[in-house]
Chain A
């Protein structure tokens, strides 16, 4: 696959659809489009890019998402329903093991925490109407029965639709299989400019003004790099950086087969601890106070974690929208240019690959997804 290593030297070529961004979001689209027979090119920055997926926790997560937007709750549930088949298809095509398994807990440290979570989940159920998912509320003793290693916390909510996977293998599988399906992956190639062509379609250029490719349609899925590209295409993209830090421990024998939103044991045996959120711009450095807070919270859930050595910790910046829900849009002034932004690249990978890729081919985002348009941020205050 010479084209995958040629990078910026690859000749200008035209294609049906150019995807800008080779992370989890762009790769899901690249694979989904190639799988539907589209000739596509996927442009990726180099290793120094600010990669939002570095902060991901490998979760396919449903519970609690979409409080205040039923459409997002239903979309997350749909992702979970699609995920098994999505993983099976990728695994069969690549021989890789995505280590997808299901069952997720949200731990509650206090009775008030537990009650608040239950109330939120009930609210989401009522917003989802007939498509609502079920969850179980586990008081301490019921939780302890399922997880004997759990510490002195109030309880947890359990949702069978939640799950986790090996996100490194997911990205590798998408890259490997989209190229097998004919997509061209162009690493170390930062797209800086988008120019509309007279006869329709668009030309992509790099920072030196070199032509990179001409395409009928574009998918902007470049994480924090999306904003500048979207603005050139008449798309407003209200996103900001939300920093998260993650701790990884030494490997131990399997002790937690479910997953949770703050603690998960990887298929390699390490424990990942996380879920911090800080507003510090594009700063990816870790700090002791945040790491200490993560560690304290996780040790309350599983006291044995105290005895594990920390191997590494790192920071990353998620793409966050003002309300935390995805922003999907199709440019009015630049037909065929789509922009997708969200912070759930792993969960929604199945939806992006298996559903949303078809929208790009069709040339329109279904009206059923109007809630994802950023016009929701323009609501005027009533007088």
Chain B
């Protein structure tokens, strides 16, 4: 669907749902995922339908993704970094599964 114009100059490796992916250091997580062919980043909190990046400038919140250790983040506003562990955002995360808490 999307094709990179050039190969990453400073590649980083991260995971989405356990799958290792490569991106360019500093590009947004949303851009890196789209380049890897992943458009289904979350489920809607209203009707559970699949959602993905839309505005890419921080306005629409459609690109929410779950970053382990950080929680909900806008994928278009977070830079891709080495070792990030991402999960598909469940729409309504379950506080029972948050662990420790504080």
B18 at the interface (CB under 8 A from A): no
Q: Is A250 an interface residue (CB 8 A)?
A: yes
* A149 in contact (CB, < 8 A): yes
Query: 0/1 per residue, A112-133, Cβ < 8 Å to B?
Result: 0000000000000000000000
Chain A stretch 103-151: residues in CB contact (< 8 A) with chain B = 148-149, 151
Q: How far is the CB of B11 from chain A (nearest CB, A)?
A: 29
CA gap between A304 and B90 in the complex, in Å? 17
Q: Indicate which residue in A149, A268, A303, A308 contacts B96 across the interface (CB closer than 8 Å).
A: A149
Bitwise interface map of A from 298 to 334 toward B, beta carbon under 8 Å scored 1, else 0: 0100111011110000000000000000000000000
Residue of B nearest to A306 (CB): B102
Report A18 CB to chain B, min CB distance, Å: 40
Cβ-based interface call for B72 (8 A): yes
In the complex, whether B71 has a CB less than 8 A from a CB of chain A is yes
Chain A residues within 8 Å of B93, by CB? 252-253
Expressed in whole angstroms, the minimum distance between the Cβ of B72 and any Cβ of chain A is 5
Cβ-defined contact, A304 with B95, below 8 A: yes
At the interface, yes or no: A7 with Cβ under 8 Å from chain B? no
Tell me whether A269 is interfacial, beta carbon within 8 Å.
Answer: yes
Contact in complex: A253, B72 (CB < 8 Å): no
Query: A149-B96, A269-B45, A307-B71 known; A251 and B101 CB under 8 Å?
Result: no
Considering only residues 81-102 of chain B, those with a C-beta below 8 Å from chain A are 90-96, 98, 100-102
Known contacts: A251-B45, A303-B101. The answer to whether A309 contacts B72 by CB under 8 A is: yes
Out of A148, A250, A251, A304, name the residue touching B98 (CB < 8 Å): A304
Q: B102, A303: Cβ atoms under 8 Å?
A: yes
Whether B71 and A309, one on each chain, are in contact in the complex, defined by CB atoms closer than 8 angstroms, is yes
Per-position 1/0 for B59-74, Cβ under 8 A of A: 0000000000001100
**Interface class of chain B by DSSP:** loop
Given A269-B45, A308-B71, A309-B71, A253 contacting B94 (CB threshold 8 A): yes
Q: Are B45 and A255 in contact (CB under 8 A)?
A: no
Q: Which residue of B lies closest to A309 (CB)?
A: B72
Contact A149 B102 (CB under 8 A): no
Contact residues in B for A252 (Cβ distance below 8 Å): 92-95
Q: Once the chains are docked, how many angstroms separate the CA of A175 from the CA of B85?
A: 48
Cα distance A253–B90 in the bound complex, in angstroms: 9
Q: Which residues of A contact B72 (CB under 8 A)?
A: 250, 308-309
Contact (Cβ within 8 A) B96 A299: no
Closest B residue by C-beta to A305: B95
Closest A residue to B98 using CB positions: A304
In the bound assembly, the distance between CA atoms of A269 and B91 in angstroms comes to: 10
Given A299-B102, A304-B98, A307-B98: A253 in contact with B71 (beta carbons within 8 A) = no
- Bits for A243-265, please: 1 = Cβ < 8 Å to B, else 0: 00000001111010000000000
Interface centre among B90, B94, B95, B101 (most CB of A within 10 A): B95
Given A250-B72, A251-B45, A269-B45, CB of A306 within 8 Å of CB of B101: yes
> Which A residue's beta carbon lies closest to that of B100?
A303
| B91 CB → nearest A CB, Å | 7
A-B contact pairs, 24 of them (CB 8 A): A148-B96, A149-B95, A251-B45, A251-B91, A252-B92, A252-B94, A252-B95, A253-B90, A253-B92, A253-B93, A253-B95, A255-B94, A255-B95, A268-B45, A302-B95, A303-B102, A304-B95, A304-B98, A306-B101, A306-B102, A307-B98, A307-B101, A308-B72, A309-B72
Q: Which residues of B are interface residues toward A (Cβ below 8 A)?
A: 45, 71-72, 90-96, 98, 100-102
- 10 further contact pairs, Cβ within 8 A, besides A251-B91, A253-B96, A307-B101: A148-B96, A149-B95, A251-B92, A253-B95, A255-B95, A269-B45, A299-B102, A302-B95, A303-B100, A308-B72
A residues with CB within 8 A of B: 148-149, 151, 250-253, 255, 268-269, 299, 302-304, 306-309
